Structure 1
Amino acid sequence: MSVGFFQVPFPQNEPVKEYRPGSPERASLKAALAEATSTVRDIPMYIGGEEVRTETKNPIVAPHNHQQVLAYYHEGDAQHVERAITAALNAKEAWAAMAWEHRLSIFLKAAELLAGPYRAKINAATMLGQSKNAYQAEIDSACEMIDFLRFNVQYATEIYQDQPRSSAGIWNRTEYRPLEGFVFALTPFNFTAIAGNLPTAPAMLGNTVVWKPAIQQVYSAQVLMEVFREAGVPDGVINLIYVDGPLAGEVIFQHADFAGIHFTGSTKVFQTIWKTIGENIGRYKTYPRIVGETGGKDFVMVHESADAKAVATGLVRGAFEYQGQKCSAASRAYLPFTMWEEVKNYMLADLREIKTGSVEDFSNFVNAVIDERAFDKIAAYIDNAKNDPTIEVVAGGTHDKSQGYFVQPTILLTQDPLSVTMCEEIFGPVLTIYLYNPDSFEETLELVDQTSPYALTGSIFAKDRYAVELAARKLSNAAGNFYINDKPTGAVVGQQPFGGSRASGTNDKAGSALNLMRWVSPRVIKETFVTPTQYSYPFLANE
């Protein structure tokens, strides 16, 4: 066989299509939506080389029309978790031994499939199953997923190329082995790209994976699995199961071969997982890698030198795109009271134009929240705020779940910077604003830093560079992704690797080599060409 140090195709961010009226991508997407809604899909689990179906079939409904059944998925139980682990372990040796260039080429092919023949299908599935509009689906399930695959291939290559120095007569080298055991990928509903990245990033490095997506994302997860299989991911490398989370954890976290978890979800769940792993630490062959991105209470800090229209646009987009169901969504903002009327008027003008409704109507900017549980939680925050005398409902404040789980974009103005909606993650289209005295800018920065246990994203709007510098310094630990004169959402793979610390996670930066390094176990090899045959050293000689 031929051997070489191969250069992979240099990654470029996938261009975002606009879906303007009359464009070919709009026509293609509408056709994919029509095809998807014309049939009710049957969605099996994928364990080893098998499509696994069970007696328990559950419906998947469209959040914006909960009478519309999109598919039925086959729910598994503990024995399916065990089977998935066994399949992953059985596939491990051959997958880890495969030459790295062949392993990585599979994922480059997956990127090309998503960029081409599967683009409309994955976007349509994300739109229907997760209630995303065409643009939000495009930047997620198409572009970001493609970017994760292409850039991670590049990062993996860079990791393999990083080698130690060697002195005279010695050759030092490093092998980047996969972890010993299997990796558990536990993925969220809100981003198809995150759901796809969490199992594929470890797999690129030779790991085998048990993947449990959020039930609300199963519809698009199945399309991703279809892509992975067509791209050539071998049987057993990525095993897709639909089981209850605690049930899966009960099996996985007690297994001796559990080697790591790649997680995105709630802080409470992640803390429970960490505790469970600690309680079982004596069971494992190795110390498991724990990589997680969790919640956020993301801020926008505004200095009086900021442009009011830019602030208003950043807040509307940052808070209400995808119904605020982004870990990075702007959910608390601090404005100087001198700017409030101007910013408010711009925001209200935007909200008067914004339409809410089904994803199939491309004129709707806002769609439904993911399910009834989320709807009820968000509605309760809004209704409680209405009864709080220190809070004014500036916009929105209404909600209706009769047909779909719709919550109108809501702006709250609070007199208390520590009110509930300024502190707790809501995960919905609710923005709370606190007005401060512009003379208290530095003190307000301290308030921003201390208000929330999270540290995921945040931004500063200011033309005054001294203000920008002060905010960046004072808020250095308040956000893992910090934006200057921009909304705190929309991280791009290869440009803004994503992740936060404090209660927001382990900050292992998805979309960078930092994340991929967590999925290797290096072995350093020292080869001595002429081996010493005498024990003594020169210093032992007599004078």
Structure 2
Amino acid sequence: MTTFEREPGRLFIGGQWREAADGARTEVVDPSRGTVVTTVAEAGPADVDAAVRAAREAHDDGAWSGLSGRERGRVLHRVAQLIRENADEIAALESLDVGKPITLCGAVDVTNAANDYEYFANLAQSQDGALRDTPMNALAYTKREPLGVVAAITPFNFPLILAGSKIGPALAAGNTVVHKPADETPLSALYMARLFQQAGVPDGVVNVVTGTGPVAGEALLRHRGVDKVAFTGSTAIGRHVASVAGEALKPVTMELGGNAAHIVFEDADLEKAVGAVIKGFVFNTGQFCMGGPRLLVARSVYPTLLGILAEAVPGVPVGDPRDPATVVGPMAAEKHLRKVEEYVALARKEGARIVCGGERLDLDGGYYYKPTVIADLSNDSRVVQEEIFGPVLTVQPFDDEDEAVALANSTPYGLASGVQTTNLARAHRVADRLQAGIVWVNDWAMLDPAMPFGGVKDSGYGREYGPEALAGYTKVKSVVVSLD
């Protein structure tokens, strides 16, 4: 591990590293120990304005937007290559910043980030227009153009991946970007700024402003020089983002909260299902919008599956994220740990059965919580209905397929869902009825940049990944040339 993560971080604006205009700084905490590892500049409105102006100037001078898609793709391929060349360093940085296990950071975060930029590099030259057949005596065609300046506002749980899912397609389409990472986890965003510059991305095309949501995020959201907002975060903040963007008629892509149901039918392969269930709720310490924290189980196998979980879940390795054997690390911040504790306390108050877990893990002063399985809660419990965002699984029985679907669709969220069954017809039938942007069958968290994801209902709108994401960073222009 290099010393970069311990150096004080600065803002990256117009290709230059600078302090905040007022000199403000904020601490970055290692969640595995609760200790400060460095500080970063805390941007204010003046800094955000400078970043947006730099992005606007870079867009208008055509140094990036004027390149062909193939030329932009070459640079993005270089970004992907640099991520792979620096994989160990980036994984260590992400682990330090977020508290996620180092093995997970390498196998998932770094690998997927490189894949994201590579995918959109390949897609960069696919922005073809279309010749339209009309009765007019004219040559009529459409073309796709970049939107302009994109504000990318990303959360704390997957800083590297969720930045790539926005910056990748934005750059592929020819836009410029101002990235505001979560205030808890800014380090990989600053590291990536160096890689963008090294890869040949022109100055001002990617800018990074670290700081708080209420100050830096709000200034970026309200800036009249921003043409599109790409946001991942909570549903509550998402409503505010949509409202403010709507006032200025700015397009928005929003991936918001989730509370996915994972349905296990009586004909499921239980051994395979249990592995997917555990992965679905402990992955990234449960800090995963597309996690599976609600388990719905056919009543005939409900006691059996609860018994298997009671034995298997306590054996999941929880500990120091720097240990390659660790599967579950700490929560990303103390406030997230307290939130999990409050929900488990509420479950106890409502008479729930704590099958396993249900308490903090005292380890090195970090923000650890034992993976927890909760049974015997009613469907209208807040613990079932709301997004806990921690390593907590609620388990409910159902009697038939219709009840399973009704329970799965009973929350305001609709980001992901899952089905465990060996009946192929049932898999397709139930997938069609689930209100979710992505449905996994007989596994969980199968993601690839070619497959779009995003929400319905309170989980947001627009799509990340796939050609659908690229289209969301473009505008369509029609050209009609008279042949008279």
**What TM-score, normalized to structure 2?**
0.93
Residue-by-residue CA offset, 1:296-325 (whole Å, 9 max, x unaligned):
001111111112212211111111121111
Residue among 107, 114, 125 paired with 2:83: 114
Equivalent in the alignment of 1:45: 11
Shift in alpha-carbon separation, 1:92–1:445, aligned structure 2, 3 A:
same
Equivalent in the alignment of 2:106: 138
Equivalent in the alignment of 1:6: none
Residue-by-residue CA offset, 1:117-150 (whole Å, 9 max, x unaligned):
2111111111111111133212433221112111
Cα contact 2:151–2:229 (8 A) shared by 1:
yes
Q: Structure 1 residue 492 and structure 2 residue 448: aligned?
A: yes
State the secondary structure of the residue aligned to 1:393. strand
Shift of 1:277: 2.4
The aligned length equals: 477
Q: Structure 1 residue 363 and structure 2 residue 325: aligned?
A: yes
Residue among 372, 377, 387 paired with 1:425: 387
State the secondary structure of the residue aligned to 1:330. coil
Give 1:81's aligned amino acid.
V
Within a 5 Å distance, the mapping from 1:54-73 to structure 2 comes to 54=20, 55-67=23-35, 69-73=36-40
Shift in alpha-carbon separation, 1:326–1:311, aligned structure 2, 3 A:
same
Cα contact 2:145–2:477 (8 A) shared by 1:
yes
State the secondary structure of the residue aligned to 1:351. helix
Q: Structure 1 residue 223 and structure 2 residue 191: aligned?
A: yes
The whole-number CA distance in structure 1 between the counterparts of 2:455 and 2:441 is 17
Q: Structure 1 residue 441 and structure 2 residue 401: aligned?
A: yes
State the secondary structure of the residue aligned to 1:394. strand
The whole-number CA distance in structure 2 between the counterparts of 1:237 and 1:383 is 47
Equivalent in the alignment of 1:21: none
Residue-by-residue CA offset, 1:234-293 (whole Å, 9 max, x unaligned):
111111001222223543444333211011111111101111223x33xxxxx3111110
Equivalent in the alignment of 2:43: 76
Shift of 1:57: 2.5
Cα contact 2:260–2:415 (8 A) shared by 1:
yes
Equivalent in the alignment of 2:202: 234
Cα contact 2:123–2:172 (8 A) shared by 1:
no
Equivalent in the alignment of 2:211: 243
Q: Structure 1 residue 351 and structure 2 residue 313: aligned?
A: yes
The whole-number CA distance in structure 2 between the counterparts of 1:45 and 1:139 is 29
Equivalent in the alignment of 1:399: 360
Name the larger-Rg structure.
Answer: 1
Shift of 1:200: 3.2
Shift in alpha-carbon separation, 1:454–1:109, aligned structure 2, 3 A:
same
The whole-number CA distance in structure 2 between the counterparts of 1:301 and 1:407 is 25
State the secondary structure of the residue aligned to 1:411. strand
The whole-number CA distance in structure 2 between the counterparts of 1:415 and 1:216 is 33
The whole-number CA distance in structure 2 between the counterparts of 1:190 and 1:463 is 33
The whole-number CA distance in structure 2 between the counterparts of 1:330 and 1:387 is 23
Cα contact 2:276–2:443 (8 A) shared by 1:
yes
Cα contact 1:36–1:125 (8 A) shared by 2:
no
Residue-by-residue CA offset, 1:478-514 (whole Å, 9 max, x unaligned):
1110011122x232222x32112111111x3311111
Residue-by-residue CA offset, 1:352-374 (whole Å, 9 max, x unaligned):
42221111112221100010110
Give 2:449's aligned amino acid.
V
Cα contact 1:309–1:346 (8 A) shared by 2:
no
The whole-number CA distance in structure 1 between the counterparts of 2:222 and 2:313 is 50
Q: Structure 1 residue 96 and structure 2 residue 41: aligned?
A: no
Give 1:482's aligned amino acid.
V
The whole-number CA distance in structure 2 between the counterparts of 1:176 and 1:466 is 40
The whole-number CA distance in structure 1 between the counterparts of 2:428 and 2:146 is 41
State the secondary structure of the residue aligned to 1:43. coil
Give 1:454's aligned amino acid.
Y
Equivalent in the alignment of 1:5: none
The whole-number CA distance in structure 2 between the counterparts of 1:177 and 1:464 is 45
Q: Structure 1 residue 339 and structure 2 residue 292: aligned?
A: no
**What TM-score, normalized to structure 1?**
0.83
Structure 2 unaligned residues grouped into runs of 5+: none
Cα contact 2:183–2:213 (8 A) shared by 1:
no
Identity of aligned residues (%): 25
Give 1:500's aligned amino acid.
G
Residue among 261, 277, 282 paired with 1:315: 277
Structure 1 unaligned residues grouped into runs of 5+: 1-31, 282-286, 533-543
The whole-number CA distance in structure 2 between the counterparts of 1:83 and 1:415 is 51
The whole-number CA distance in structure 2 between the counterparts of 1:357 and 1:491 is 26
Cα contact 2:70–2:124 (8 A) shared by 1:
no
Q: Structure 1 residue 511 and structure 2 residue 471: aligned?
A: no
Give 1:80's aligned amino acid.
D
The whole-number CA distance in structure 2 between the counterparts of 1:254 and 1:264 is 17
Residue-by-residue CA offset, 1:391-436 (whole Å, 9 max, x unaligned):
1000100114670000000000024122222110010000000122
RMSD: 2.1
Q: Structure 1 residue 458 and structure 2 residue 417: aligned?
A: yes
Give 2:73's aligned amino acid.
L
Cα contact 1:89–1:208 (8 A) shared by 2:
yes
Residue-by-residue CA offset, 1:169-193 (whole Å, 9 max, x unaligned):
85444332111x4211101111111
The whole-number CA distance in structure 2 between the counterparts of 1:416 and 1:135 is 37
Shift in alpha-carbon separation, 1:182–1:358, aligned structure 2, 3 A:
same
Cα contact 2:267–2:422 (8 A) shared by 1:
yes
Shift of 1:165: 4.4
Shift of 1:515: 1.1
